[in-house]
Amino acid sequence: MIAEALVIRATGSWYQVLVRSEGELKGQELSCRIRGKLRLKGVRSTNPVVVGDTVHIESDESGEWVIYDIAPRRNYIIRRASNLSKESHIIAANIDRAMIVVTLIEPVTALEFVDRFLITCEAYKVPATILLAKIDLLQEATEAVEQFHAIYEGAGYEVIDISATEGIGVERVRAMLDGKVTLVSGNSGVGKSTLIGKIDPTLDIRTGEISESFHKGKHTTTFSTMYPIGEDGYIIDTPGIKGFGLIEIDDKELWHYFPEMIATAGSCRFYNCTHTHEPGCAVMEAVKSGEISFSRYESYLKILDDDDKYRK
């Protein structure tokens, strides 16, 4: 028997799928393994099958279900498998929107991490929204909150203040999920799983605490998992990510994934301006005048100059 299915959980060797094709199996969840030769198709990734993939499955001679084909992906979110790795790791595929959860306290999310994530979203045409979490803990830090909004709203991104514990912003986020496949990502400890559990308390989402000694989040989600939510929507809860090494992005193309640079670069004196040293560079002038955030421009320079560990 052959069927079409949606991958809703990937553990590395086994995959949980939801059968979509018509027939007696429609709507059932099945455990599948991957057909060996599928791994040898030249996929330069640690995980050839990912959450969000549409796959074709069949039962083998022993009665086990096997994934034998993957449908073309319309997009995906990808990163380096590790800081020094040459391999890539695809977080999820076929996404309508990515939400990155950011915290300015307990733990602090580095702005360069945010920028790397957003660059990848731009590169693979995944609309991105930033969720500024634990806003209830920032009542005495209004200047930091306003500055964060200025940086990313100035770059063209929607920033939503949320507090899962206080219910702030939860309804606004929930309204964005209906009928969409939404990826929720961020560092460990920022409250991704807590937020998802608040949006739909019926979901079995594990949450963790913050390490007192290191003020870093403990990993709670071991593997990416897709959950049904709202009206025909799905939400993908991802493992906490420590670093986000870029891949498949050439240095010469990097500035194309900063929307605020795209809007300004047309006024540069040279058509092939790298926005690093050239006279008449409109981007550098915009940074000096404050039209482009210095922190965003700084991330751009760091990725160009200091990213060898990701690009070897």
Mean pLDDT of the chain: 87
DSSP 51: T
What's the CA gap between 115 and 257, in Å, rounded? 10
Percent of the chain whose predicted confidence (pLDDT) is above 90: 65
What's the CA gap between 102 and 162, in Å, rounded? 10
* Tens of pLDDT, residues 222-238: 578 999 998 889 999 98
Strands (E), 95-157: 97-102, 128-132
Q: Which domains does the chain have, with CATH numbers?
A: 2-70 (2.40.50.140), 76-237 (3.40.50.300), 251-311 (1.10.40.50)
What's the CA gap between 17 and 196, in Å, rounded? 21
| Per-range mean pLDDT, top range of 120-134, 201-215, 240-254, 297-311 | 120-134
Q: Is it the case that residue 134 has pLDDT exceeding 60? A: yes
What's the CA gap between 268 and 247, in Å, rounded? 27
CB contact at 8 A, 265 and 283: yes
What's the CA gap between 260 and 280, in Å, rounded? 17
CB contact at 8 A, 153 and 113: no
What's the CA gap between 288 and 294, in Å, rounded? 8
**pLDDT computed for residue 83 by the predictor:** 54
Tally the residues of the chain: 312
**pLDDT computed for residue 100 by the predictor:** 97
What's the CA gap between 174 and 196, in Å, rounded? 9
Average pLDDT estimate for 109-115: 95
What tokens does 194 get? 């807590």
What's the CA gap between 177 and 235, in Å, rounded? 7
Average pLDDT estimate for 20-39: 84
**pLDDT computed for residue 276 by the predictor:** 96
Handedness of CA 86, 221, 68, 120 (dihedral sign): negative
DSSP 15: E
Window from 73-77, 91-95, 247-251, 268-272 with minimum mean pLDDT: 247-251
* Tens of pLDDT, residues 138-193: 988 899 999 999 999 999 999 999 999 999 999 999 999 999 999 999 998 998 98
**pLDDT computed for residue 16 by the predictor:** 94
Q: How much is the pTM?
A: 0.88
Average pLDDT estimate for 268-273: 95
CB contact at 8 A, 223 and 9: yes
**pLDDT computed for residue 28 by the predictor:** 92
**pLDDT computed for residue 81 by the predictor:** 74
